[in-house]
Chain A
Amino acid sequence: MEKIGLYLGCNIPLKAPDVEQSFRKVFPVLGIEPVDLPGATCCPAWGTAPSFDRDTWCAISARNITIAEGLGVDIMTGCNSCFGIMSEAKHFLHDKATTERVNARLAEIGRKYQGTSDIYHVMHVLHDKVGCEKIRENLKYSLDGLTIAVQTGCHTLWPSDVYSTCEANPFYPVMLKELCEATGAAAPHYSRLESCCGMGGMRSTDAEKSLVIFRDKLMSMQEEIKPDIIVTACSSCYMQFDMSQPILKERGLIDFEPIPTLYYTQLLALAMGFDSSQVAAISQIDRSAIIKEIQSEKRLMKEVA
């Protein structure tokens, strides 16, 4: 079984451990063994070291990467920000002078960045290493008839020149769409698919402004494809969709019920038959109806070996 370093970040292990649990359940079945990266810290988030000093950012990212290098594995993360930040740091570290300065700092904690571990997003591992065919083979329930609004998130798309893996057209991403379709569900395009959800620095700087663009995006989903579920592969988007829909509803800014939101591996874990109390247990929006629908008897496929 192929081993890969599971880089958790902050939000997933601390706020959304059901997403973490979904990784741990799904990947071994699909032939990938996630390996813990003990002592890994924040990537560091955009609002921390990257906002103060580029070398400090690179040093903290590089420290995380050295943990994987020590285990001889590549890195997989489920958080778009972590993927973006560590990929950009690695991009800066292609410059020899930067690497020398950063390694001087890492020497103080007895580490050295080598550049031997690649950085992948969970979505990349599922799409390119596992593949949609293998996902299909391991389903217990078919999601045929359900409509999914795909939320890829920004930091796997741009700037495409710093990522080792990227979409053929980053303005028209299809990886997550294809992964969703592998479950049997429909995942039609909607016009604002590639646009930002408003989470992150924008929400902490001015939550009201963040809600404006979030609503635009949500309305595009609802008016154009009327989804049963929103599925994302970004932990920040995941939290925005779960937190902010109820706010809009409460203020009367949307006239439909908040749409249940799942991280992709949660959707997959449910479709593979895992226990929802472990893989999809924590949310503000009530997801019990859609979970019940996904794991209903009528959707049972042939017994999974």
Chain B
Amino acid sequence: MIIDQKKIDEAIETVIGYGGEHIRNCVQCGACSAVCPGVKAGFPLLCRSLIRQLLNGQLEEIIEDSSSWACQSCSRCTEICPRGVRPQEVVFAFRRYQANQLAFSTSSITSQMNLFQTGHAVFVDPKEARKKVGLPEEPPTSAYDEAAQKEIQTLINNSPMGELGLF
């Protein structure tokens, strides 16, 4: 690896811009990675190792890695980080960078479409199950509420998400 200050600055500023404000506080103590379920499950670029790569300016080099999407946002890292880095927010900032470069799995697109159309990221037809347990077939949510769906569509269309050409 070559140390390229321009790349380092660009990576850090990108992450800060997407909400990983405290990345520079990191001293690489590793406590976050000691308790991260994703690190334990074997995802290579989460918490400490992701932050190290970003501090090394390796933004484009790791853009295709899916580790960040395995973050459970349990925030145990944020709870124990002795430096106030809030690693979960750094992971999510990197995820936002990936998403805005459309570097994420196609399976994730379904959730975005569901959210846009029904207001529910997870959508299955609930009518039969609801009827079975004695509830009205339609829940009192946006699922069958056109006005509510229109509202969520307006919010998404007028956001950076709306500019990605997904909807």
Contact = CB atoms under 8 A, between A and B. Distances in A.
Direct contact of A and B (CB under 8 A): yes
Is the interface on chain A under 10, 10 to 19, 20 to 34, or 35 or more residues? 35 or more
A282 B121 contact: no
Given A51-B95, A198-B37, A21 B19 contact: no
Contact of B96 (A51, A157, A210): A51
Interface in B137-163: 139-143, 145, 147-148, 151-152, 154-156, 158-161
Q: Is the interface of B mostly helix, strand, loop or mixed?
A: helix
Contacts of B72: 154, 196, 198-202
A48 B112 CA distance: 6
B46 to A, nearest CB: 10
B146 to A, nearest CB: 10
Interface residues of B, number: 64
B8 interface: no
B132 A158 contact: no
B64 interface: no
A20 B92 CA distance: 31
Nearest to A153: B74
Interface in B32-79: 37-38, 40-43, 66, 69-76, 78-79
Nearest to B40: A213
A120 B133 CA distance: 25
B39 to A, nearest CB: 10
A202 B159 CA distance: 26
A282 B132 contact: yes
A21 B135 contact: yes
A124 interface: no
A114 B115 CA distance: 24
A75 B158 CA distance: 27
Nearest to B130: A17
Nearest to A154: B74
B100 interface: yes
A189 B92 CA distance: 32
Contacts of B151: 39, 63, 109, 111
Given A56-B160, A210-B41, A201 B71 contact: yes
Interface string A180-208: 00000000000000011011111011100
Given A41-B119, A51-B96, A282-B133, A108 B124 contact: no
A15 B126 contact: yes
Interface in B74-124: 74-76, 78-79, 86, 88, 92, 95-96, 99-100, 104-105, 107-108, 111-112, 115, 119-124
A233 interface: no
Given A41-B119, A52-B160, A282 B37 contact: no
A272 interface: no
A278 interface: yes
Given A52-B160, A53-B160, A201-B73, 20 more contacts: A11-B122, A13-B130, A15-B124, A15-B129, A21-B135, A42-B120, A44-B121, A54-B96, A56-B155, A59-B159, A105-B155, A154-B76, A155-B73, A157-B76, A158-B75, A159-B79, A196-B74, A201-B71, A205-B70, A281-B132
29 contacts: A10-B121, A13-B130, A14-B123, A14-B139, A39-B142, A40-B141, A45-B115, A47-B69, A47-B108, A48-B111, A49-B161, A59-B155, A63-B155, A84-B73, A106-B155, A109-B151, A109-B155, A157-B74, A157-B76, A157-B79, A158-B75, A158-B76, A201-B69, A201-B73, A202-B38, A202-B72, A205-B69, A206-B43, A282-B132
Interface of A: 8, 10-11, 13-15, 17-18, 20-21, 24, 36-42, 44-56, 59-60, 63, 84, 105-106, 108-109, 111, 154-155, 157-160, 170, 195-196, 198-202, 204-206, 209-210, 212-213, 277-279, 281-282
